[in-house]
A and B are shown apart, each in its own frame.
Chain A
Amino acid sequence: MLESPSTVSLAKGGETMPEWNEQEFVSRARKGDMEACDALVRQYQERIYATIYHMTSNHEDAADLAQDTFIKAFRKIQNFKGDSAFFTWLYRIAVNNTINFIRSKRRRVILSINQMDEEWDSGEQLLGLVSKDTPQRDIDLHELQGVLNAALQKLSANHRLVVTLHDVQGLPHEQIGEIMDCNTNTVRTRLYYARKQLQALLSDYLKP
Chain B
Amino acid sequence: MESDPKEFDKLQKLLASKKKEKPGEGFFDQFSDQVLTRLEEPAPKPTLWERLNDQVDPLRAAAAIFAAVIGVGVLFALDEGTNLAGTETEPIGQAEEKPAADPLGQAQNALAGSGLPLNKSGAEPTRILINPGAGLAPRPAKVDPSFYQDKSASNTVEKLKH
Binary A-proximity of B1-40 (CB < 8 A = 1, otherwise 0): 1110001101111111111111110011001101110110
Cβ of B43 within 8 Å of any chain A Cβ, yes or no, is yes
Cβ–Cβ < 8 Å partners of A21 in chain B: none
Within 8 A of B (CB), among A163-198: 163, 167-170, 185, 188-189, 192, 195, 198
Across the interface, name the chain B residue whose C-beta is closest to A75.
Answer: B43
Cβ-neighbour of A67 out of B10, B16, B21, B35 (below 8 A):
B35
Cβ–Cβ < 8 Å partners of A185 in chain B: 1
Across the interface, name the chain B residue whose C-beta is closest to A207.
Answer: B10
B36 and A199 form a contact (CB under 8 A): no
A117 and B35 form a contact (CB under 8 A): no
In the bound complex, CA of A173 to CA of B50 (Å): 31
B21 and A41 form a contact (CB under 8 A): no
B23 and A117 form a contact (CB under 8 A): no
Across the interface, name the chain A residue whose C-beta is closest to B11.
Answer: A199
Within 8 A of B (CB), among A33-56: 34, 37-38, 41-42, 45-46, 49-50, 53-54
In the bound complex, CA of A202 to CA of B10 (Å): 11
A37 and B28 form a contact (CB under 8 A): no
A114 and B1 form a contact (CB under 8 A): no
**Chain A facing B: main interface SS:** helix
B21 and A129 form a contact (CB under 8 A): no
Cβ–Cβ < 8 Å partners of A167 in chain B: 11-12, 15-16
Cβ–Cβ < 8 Å partners of B19 in chain A: 50, 168-169
In the bound complex, CA of A148 to CA of B1 (Å): 24
B22 and A129 form a contact (CB under 8 A): no
Cβ–Cβ < 8 Å partners of A129 in chain B: 10, 13-14
Across the interface, name the chain B residue whose C-beta is closest to A54.
Answer: B18
Cβ-neighbour of A168 out of B3, B8, B16 (below 8 A):
B16
Cβ-neighbour of A163 out of B15, B17, B23, B35 (below 8 A):
B15
Cβ–Cβ < 8 Å partners of A163 in chain B: 15
- By CB atoms of chain A within 10 A, which of B7, B8, B10, B35 has the most? B35
**A188 and B34 in contact (CB under 8 A), knowing A63-B23, A168-B18, A198-B11?**
no
Give the interface of A toward B (CB within 8 A).
34, 37-38, 41-42, 45-46, 49-50, 53-54, 59, 62-63, 66-67, 70-71, 74-76, 79, 113-117, 120, 122, 126, 129, 144-145, 148-149, 163, 167-170, 185, 188-189, 192, 195, 198-199, 202, 206-207
Q: List 15 A-B contacts (CB under 8 A).
A: A45-B28, A49-B31, A53-B23, A54-B21, A62-B23, A66-B31, A75-B39, A114-B22, A115-B21, A115-B22, A126-B13, A168-B15, A195-B8, A195-B12, A206-B11
